Amino acid sequence: MAVSRRLFVTAAAALVASSGTSVALASAASASSGEPWYRIPVSPDDSPDELVRKASRVRPTERQIAWQALERTAFLHFGVNTFTGLEWGTGDEDPDVFQPVGLDTDQWARALRDGGFKLAILTVKHHDGFVLYPSRYTKHSVASSSWQGGQGDVLRSFADSMRRHGLKVGVYISPADENQYLHGVYANGSARSEHTIPTPVPGDDRPDGPTFTLPATDYGAHMLDQLYEVLTEYGPVDEVWFDGAQGRIPPDKVETYDWDSWYTLIRTLAPDATVAVSGPDVRWVGNEGGLARENEWSVVPVQEKANGRMDFALSYDAPDMGGRDALVAAQPVADHLQWWPAEADVSIRDGWFYHADQQPKSVQQLTDIYFGSVGRNAVLLLNVPPDDRGLLPAADVTRLREFRERVDRELPEDLARGAHITRSTGTITADLGTPREVNRIRLAEDIRHGQQVETFVIETHTGGAWRQVTSAGTIGASRILLLPTPVSSQRWRLRVTTARRPPRLSVFTLHRSHPEIF
């Protein structure tokens, strides 16, 4: 490999293009000029008011704003488990079990697009370590299967199909790797040392590209090599998903992951990609039911762990992640307040992988999940597992379409469109010209100005006075309120009752769902 023409990126230099940049700039900016940024340091001496003031200054990055706007994203769990019936593989599967003879990733893309999804994340590597593209760094891959004569490449097919159908591309790359554990690489106790990435292999015919010198263990370097392959050979990647589970690897066999080096590589090779959920851009909502909290904050207290890993300062399942009490409760361990928005993952079936005896969730369940995630300031990540033919099952395809149609009927035409709108700080009033029945209300803050609303009320003007119809807590990037029964009024008002600083409201739409079709 002709490294001389490559761009060399060292750990220090790469920080300039990595999450480290933001950290460095955040500290500098907030300390010197008082300007907002996506991550602001906190101290145990900060008063409760100071914590809230700091939280009000935190802002999302451009990539977080773009990610939040996706609203509906999909997971595709697919791999050797699809053929063995397991949820967590063993790492010593015969690669020849992988035989998706009817693979049609265009069918996946069409079904997801028709379901309203904007991005799909493929399990390029699950905990078993089997990878869905022909990697130079493992034999546990599609290249060792007789499927397509060892020439198959699911990742390429997936990425091409998604882009062709207008979906963004995400990759799930499991940090836990049972195959590498069995080969004595994962958790082998090797010290962190400088590695040059990509590691040359015999007959390497890759064109020149950037070369990195980064600290890593043996296994950390293996991950870097695979990340390098995925991020340089398959076109632009929009989300890299690192999960936190250990699979079947014994809990005492611990590999301390080289997060800082992995993030540096990703930021340099895929600067627009969000890194979730063991990553700095997106956090796990804390359950696998697809449900956000009633009041979901995108500014949360965090603490930095070994090798730059971003972690929760409060427990991931705390009932309040970012309200005033949470900011104070986290104070002993929090080192920063960060824009770390919630991603709510759930599977359309009971398992993450396909099992013939499971059925997709009902339209009603999916609709509840939609209101519980997108309707509560989170992005929905719905898993739809391809079957052992390599197709999304017909029942799931139908269900995805029905789900999209139902959401469309839940939130039809905005009745406030064309209404006479008046605004003052924290209040938007819509005069519809004539009384209209409403039972769904959609709200948003312009998150470029942070998340500020703590409580608000919805009121109608009835009998000469404003009367409360409903009230709630946070708004954030997306809040959808469901009224149990339709309310008819000509004048509707959103009034913010508590906020961290004057909010910028960007959406106030009124809808009457079409119950007759449900």
The tally of CA atoms less than 13 A away on the side-chain side of residue 106 is 2
* Cβ(151)–Cβ(139) below 8 Å: no
Site membership for ligand FUL, residue 352 (CB under 6 A):
yes
Assigned token pair, 215: 């600290």
State in angstroms the smallest separation of the CB of 145 from ligand FUL.
21
State in angstroms the smallest separation of the CB of 353 from ligand FUL.
8
Interface positions, 100-139, toward ligand FUL (CB under 6 A): none
**249 vs 480, which CB is nearer to ligand FUL?**
249
**258 vs 345, which CB is nearer to ligand FUL?**
345
**22 vs 82, which CB is nearer to ligand FUL?**
82
Q: What is the three-state SS of 355-372?
A: CCCCCCCCHHHHHHHHHH
Site membership for ligand FUL, residue 388 (CB under 6 A):
no
Site membership for ligand FUL, residue 46 (CB under 6 A):
no
**257 vs 352, which CB is nearer to ligand FUL?**
352
Site string for ligand FUL, 461-490 (x = CB under 6 A): ------------------------------
Give the integer Cα–Cα distance in Å for 432 and 427. Answer: 16
* DSSP for 305-327, written as a single string: -GGG-EEESS-TT-S-SSSHHHH
Phi/psi-derived region of residue 161, left when phi > 0, alpha when psi is between -120 and 50, beta in every other case: alpha
Is the bond into 198 cis (omega within 30 degrees of 0)? Answer: yes
Site membership for ligand FUL, residue 445 (CB under 6 A):
no
Give the integer Cα–Cα distance in Å for 121 and 101. Answer: 21
State in angstroms the smallest separation of the CB of 352 from ligand FUL.
4
Site string for ligand FUL, 196-235 (x = CB under 6 A): ----------------------------------------
Site string for ligand FUL, 232-261 (x = CB under 6 A): -----------x-x----------------
- For tokens 């079709």, the residue is 517
State in angstroms the smallest separation of the CB of 246 from ligand FUL.
8
State in angstroms the smallest separation of the CB of 18 from ligand FUL.
25
**72 vs 336, which CB is nearer to ligand FUL?**
72
* DSSP for 117-158, written as a single string: --EEEEEEE-TT--BSS--TT-SSBGGGSSGGGGT--HHHHH
**71 vs 243, which CB is nearer to ligand FUL?**
243
**10 Å Cβ neighbour count for 496?**
21
Give the integer Cα–Cα distance in Å for 383 and 360. Answer: 10
State in angstroms the smallest separation of the CB of 82 from ligand FUL.
12
* Cβ(22)–Cβ(321) below 8 Å: no
Size of interface with ligand FUL, in residues (CB under 6 A): 5
Site string for ligand FUL, 296-335 (x = CB under 6 A): ----------------------------------------
Radius of gyration of the chain (CA): 24
Three-state DSSP at 462 gives strand
Interface positions, 72-101, toward ligand FUL (CB under 6 A): 87
Phi/psi-derived region of residue 407, left when phi > 0, alpha when psi is between -120 and 50, beta in every other case: alpha
If you ran DSSP here, which 8-state letter would residue 9 be given? E
State in angstroms the smallest separation of the CB of 347 from ligand FUL.
8
List of residues 6+ apart from 493 with CB closer than 8 A: 427, 428, 429, 430, 458, 459, 460, 461, 466
State in angstroms the smallest separation of the CB of 172 from ligand FUL.
7
Site membership for ligand FUL, residue 38 (CB under 6 A):
no
Given candidates 345, 387, 410, 445, which one binds ligand FUL under the rule CB under 6 A? Answer: 345
**178 vs 410, which CB is nearer to ligand FUL?**
178
Q: Which residues form the interface with ligand FUL (CB under 6 A)?
A: 87, 243, 245, 345, 352
